[in-house]
Structure 1
Amino acid sequence: YRELRLENIKNNIVELKSKGYQDKDICVLTNQNKYATEIVSFLIKNGYHIISSESLLLKNSPEVRMIIAFFKLLLNTGNQIQLANFIENLLVIQNNQMSFHKVYTEASSQLENGIDRLMMHLSYPTVKEEEMSGLSVYELTEYAVSNLFGEINNNIFLHFFLDFAYDYQHMGDGSLASFVEYWEKKCDKTYITMPDGVNAIQVMTIHKAKGLKFESVILDFIPRNDKTTRKDYWTDLELDGFSELQATMLPLVKDLEFVDLEHIYAEEEEKTELDLLNMIYVAFTRPVSALFILSQKKEKSQNRFTSYIQNFLTKQALKPDETEYEFGELKKREKKKEEKQKQQKNKRIVLKDMLSASWKGRIKVAPSEPVFWELISSTPADVYGNLVHKMLSEVFVHTDVKKVVTRYLLSGIIDEHEAMRIQHLIENVVNHKELKAYYNNDVLIKNETEIITLKNGNRTIHRPDRVVIQDDELIIIDYKTGEKNDMHTEQISEYAGYFNKLGYENVKKMLVYLNEAIEVLSV
């Protein structure tokens, strides 16, 4: 029956389309997710465009699953499960009829010699582990897309997966391991978003169709056994000699009548029947013009749904031995005027391919930030001081330190050794006993806030490194490198004078010297 009903669904679609119904006018409803998945798979194989939560789920794409398996292999080269996942999806994508066991066994022996050897064996000679070193999550994803599936690619799942990687890169810590972990948390709820008006058949469960309407509905209702919604029932006990046994769980079966609890089973049966009636009501009231119902009539035993249908047919004086019944006439559907206007208005440009090629070697980027230009002309000490100042300007609270350092590391501005050194320095600043209170969310923080002064008609801009407002106190923090200098004291005192003029009476001044040992000087 399961296979026959799929053919009947296809025949219903053919009949609807012969009467002028478009794909977007058709919705297939079923009563369980597993049946929806069956229908989606069957219709896609038969060349239909489908929209459903199952078909739009990003993780259902073999290309996406293949990339995730590839990432997990990069993290753990010896992971045989991920090698199997990679090969399984590879064979699906290539529509390759080769034995999975044979391909897997050969690949497993190559994996012992590293990723490069494995990729070469699987006909991906352009994939090089050395080239992937130091790439950001997004760049690595784009590298995988272009090298595994070609630089010109219009696979919508890969487009959305690239968007997923791009969005993560702006909120995660940048590591591949964290990205894979984030994917595992989100993959069950990450869907492709489709624009309104896409001409595709919708497939969904009856439950998800609540509140919606469709021009035509094909209802695939596979009868379930007449089981109650719940299988078990908890009840209190008062048994002589068993005082410690105060409650027990009993099966919800008809045999409850032997312990005087038949009313519990009866109540549950009523709830189950009401749930079924609600489901039938939702399904039968979704279509506007046409409803097709597919179900199975069993010879030996009738379930509730087929009993309802059978009783209806009997009241209509129809022959009970027939396999198909038709009420009304499926008329040819004419497009409404507003539909034609909307169709003309919503002309879309279809993206035929996606160019994904590395920009390295093609363009040169000239950074505009002064700290980067000074890499060319300044002494190493000046560069280091300016770089630390720039990074501190991006640290608002103590939890920002690692994110800022990681961002500079991934951008190639600093190497791993420098990253460790600078992170240690900045953490010493934000955790310093005299400064710690000024790097949390309980205070108002302004980094490099501007003060504009006017003297003799000339405007001057002053930028204290950090200004913190805590209750009625304003704290000025200025970072310095090198030896102490009287000019530092004069400068921060000048800043304080400006804030006094702005109405801040209680101003605290702190100079922070960024040497091997952090030194804080209150002025």
Structure 2
Amino acid sequence: MDEFQDTSAMQWNNIIPLIDHALSSETQRDQTAGLTLVGDAKQSIYRFRGGKAEQFIDLYNGQSPFSIKEKVTNLPYNYRSAKEIVEFNNSFFSYISSKFNKPSYRELFENSGQQPKKETTGYINISFLETENAEHEMELHPAKVYEIIQNLEEQGTNKSDICVLTRTRKQSFAVANYLNDQGISIVSSESLLVANSPQVLFINDLLEFSINPDDRNLRWSILNYLVKELKVSEPHQLIVATLDQKEKYFFEWLNKFGITFKLQEIRELSLYEAAEYIIRSFSLIKSSDAYLQAYLDFIFEKSTKAAISVTTFLEYWDQYSEKLSIVAPKTNDAVQIMTIHTSKGLEFPVVIYPFANSRIKDISKEYLWLPLPEDLADIPVSYFKASKKMLDWGNYAAEAYQNLLDQTEFDAINILYVALTRASQQLYILSCYEFKNGQECEDKVSGLLIGYLKSQNKWSGEKTYEIGENLPVKGRGFFGKALHPQEFYSSPTQNQIVKIVTLSGKLWGSTQEEAINTVFLYTIFFLKLLLLKIFPKR
């Protein structure tokens, strides 16, 4: 069994009887059966899916559910990364091991050192950015990533040899959006989710607003997007003044910005035409936009067989929004962007890890099941938001809270371990220059990095630290060239030969209904002309 550290308790408990039966039986050749479990508890990052590294730790520490004696074999060699990267990770995670409260976690990282097998020269760059707040961080880190990519390109590094790793999809999208604005080709299955596009969400809001014009949440979302995009000088005042306006006056203020938009148009057009009307009205596309094109393709796909209502489309969107992404081929001139969870098991010549400043014991979104007092017998347990106050709620609650802290810390360090062990030649870590009362924040990755540099007598207060030699990257070969569409064409169908008709127009009879018959004749006519040009002799 491979990747055993990600096996859930339920999976393991279901398999144990089957394995025990096999181990206690004999094979056809009178040989005892065997079981091989392969894993690395330091790479257990799927606890949210039920993965439980503690099972693996217990097994190789002698706590086996089977009667036969286990044999533990350590695999000491690293065949992926250059010497400098392996030695940096050995040293860094050995330093971190002392921070663990739980002995089994501490021992795991104390003994995690590997021996490098590659002879190539490695390079590590640790940068600390001065950020004022989370929003400022979202601006500086993508810009720094772009700067690093530019420097690598000047050295002759192919973009396909560069991978940007992030903790969250939001961070991936921030980097992807910035690089895309700078003309850098990117490939990503997560950061290129269509639902991550603010423009797509804005169109969706307007479509929903056309059927729920009194929804204040929708009104706020639409106004919030517009004041940011149009760079309104006093956004708060405009939102307050407009939020509760009647529908017919809600978009009047846009006239000052040269924008004319009528909500009634959305109700009268087909779904596809309504989306294009929004795009044209607000100039959402300056050049080709893959997110919007994929979104329009999705609308076309869902409405091509039969006309659908906005309500039906929004139901489809809820079903597919987390899966619908832009598919891009692997090319030689595209940077890969992915979350750390997706990168597990992969390697890249160059890894850039921005936003390396997450909290180590972040339990702000965690809850615990705890027993209630006996006098509430009808409700024996309750689901509580994790809080430090639980340490004073008795032994059971205090132990549950401490276990949660230990596991959260372990999982956070595991994610960091996976991120820092993906690079084979160069590793760039972008953190934050952050101190509290003159001391590094030990509860954040930035504090661990600063503390480590201090322990190595390398900390000088500077913003950048280099380990190894920055030599040209040896690439993995040429994959092909990316396509860069430049123009997006959209024009209204009103008063044109071709008309897209809404279902209501067909039912009630109108000029649109006449177009249904006319468009077929014109289509046949133009197709004949086209065929005559292609096959003149036929």
Specify the TM-score bucket, using the shorter chain as the normaliser. Answer: 0.5 to 0.7
- Cross-structure match for 1:281: 417
**Is 1:412 aligned to residue 506 of structure 2?**
yes
| Counterpart mapping for 1:73-92 below 5 A | 73-77=209-213, 82-92=218-228
Q: Deviations over 1:137-170 (max 9, x none)?
A: 2233334444553999633333222212112214
Of 308, 319, 323 in structure 1, the residue corresponding to residue 458 of structure 2 is 319
Of 127, 139, 148 in structure 2, the residue corresponding to residue 12 of structure 1 is 148
User: CA–CA distance in 2 between the matches of 1:128 and 1:269?
Assistant: 51
CA contact (8 A) 1:216 1:289 kept: yes
**Is 1:31 aligned to residue 167 of structure 2?**
yes
CA contact (8 A) 1:58 1:192 kept: yes
Q: CA deviation at 1:290?
A: 0.7
- Cross-structure match for 2:324: 190
Q: Deviations over 1:270-304 (max 9, x none)?
A: 53343234213311221222112234575265348
Q: Tell me the SS of whatever aligns to 1:195.
A: coil
CA contact (8 A) 2:168 2:339 kept: yes
Q: Tell me the SS of whatever aligns to 1:182.
A: helix
| Counterpart mapping for 1:339-350 below 5 A | 339=478, 342-343=479-480, 346=481, 348=483, 350=485
Q: CA deviation at 1:21?
A: 2.2
User: CA–CA distance in 1 between the matches of 2:191 and 2:369?
Assistant: 40
CA contact (8 A) 2:373 2:380 kept: yes
Of 347, 357, 381 in structure 2, the residue corresponding to residue 222 of structure 1 is 357
- Cross-structure match for 2:473: 333
- Cross-structure match for 1:356: 491
Q: Tell me the SS of whatever aligns to 1:326.
A: strand
User: CA–CA distance in 1 between the matches of 2:244 and 2:443?
Assistant: 55
- Cross-structure match for 1:156: 290
User: CA–CA distance in 2 between the matches of 1:303 and 1:110?
Assistant: 47
- Cross-structure match for 1:166: 300
Q: Deviations over 1:40-62 (max 9, x none)?
A: 56656666555556752334434
Q: Name the aligned partner's letter for residue 458 of structure 2.
A: K
CA contact (8 A) 1:152 1:355 kept: no
What is the percentage of aligned positions where both structures have the same residue?
A: 23
CA contact (8 A) 1:111 1:118 kept: no
Q: How many residues align?
A: 367
Closer/same/farther in 2, CA of residues 98 and 152 from structure 1, 3 Å limit: closer
- My pick for the range that moved more, 266-275 or 279-288, is 266-275
Q: CA deviation at 1:217?
A: 0.9
CA contact (8 A) 2:170 2:191 kept: no
Q: Name the aligned partner's letter for residue 395 of structure 2.
A: V
Q: CA deviation at 1:331?
A: 1.2
- Cross-structure match for 1:293: 429
TM-score by length of 2: 0.53
- Higher RCO (CA-CA < 8 Å; seq separation 6+): 2
CA contact (8 A) 2:287 2:486 kept: no
User: CA–CA distance in 2 between the matches of 1:152 and 1:189?
Assistant: 26
* Larger Rg computed on CA atoms: 1
Q: Deviations over 1:204-257 (max 9, x none)?
A: 432232233322112232141435699554455897x88778557786769479
Q: Name the aligned partner's letter for residue 353 of structure 1.
A: F
Of 215, 218, 234 in structure 2, the residue corresponding to residue 99 of structure 1 is 234
Q: Name the aligned partner's letter for residue 309 of structure 2.
A: S
User: CA–CA distance in 2 between the matches of 1:13 and 1:325?
Assistant: 18
Q: Tell me the SS of whatever aligns to 2:311.
A: helix
Q: Tell me the SS of whatever aligns to 2:163.
A: strand
CA contact (8 A) 2:160 2:331 kept: yes
Q: Name the aligned partner's letter for residue 326 of structure 1.
A: E
| Counterpart mapping for 1:413-452 below 5 A | 415=509
Q: Tell me the SS of whatever aligns to 2:429.
A: strand
Q: Deviations over 1:15-70 (max 9, x none)?
A: 32332224443223233445445545665666655555675233443443443343
Q: Deviations over 1:307-341 (max 9, x none)?
A: 865786578x54344644433222123656x41xx
User: CA–CA distance in 2 between the matches of 1:85 and 1:249?
Assistant: 32
Q: Deviations over 1:364-420 (max 9, x none)?
A: 99xxxxxxxxxxxxxxxxxxxxxxxxxxxxxxxxxxxxxxxxx9956837749xx9x
| Counterpart mapping for 1:14-163 below 5 A | 14-36=150-172, 39-40=175-176, 48-52=184-188, 55-77=191-213, 82-93=218-229, 95-100=230-235, 113=248, 123-124=258-259, 129=264, 135-149=269-283, 154-163=288-297
Q: Tell me the SS of whatever aligns to 2:467.
A: coil
- My pick for the range that moved more, 250-259 or 206-215, is 250-259
**Is 1:302 aligned to residue 446 of structure 2?**
no
Q: CA deviation at 1:264?
A: 4.9
**Please, what is the CA RMSD of the aligned residues?**
4.9
CA contact (8 A) 2:331 2:482 kept: no
- Cross-structure match for 1:208: 342
Closer/same/farther in 2, CA of residues 17 and 322 from structure 1, 3 Å limit: farther
- Cross-structure match for 2:26: none
Which residues of structure 2 form unaligned runs of 5+? 1-129, 514-538
CA contact (8 A) 1:313 1:320 kept: yes
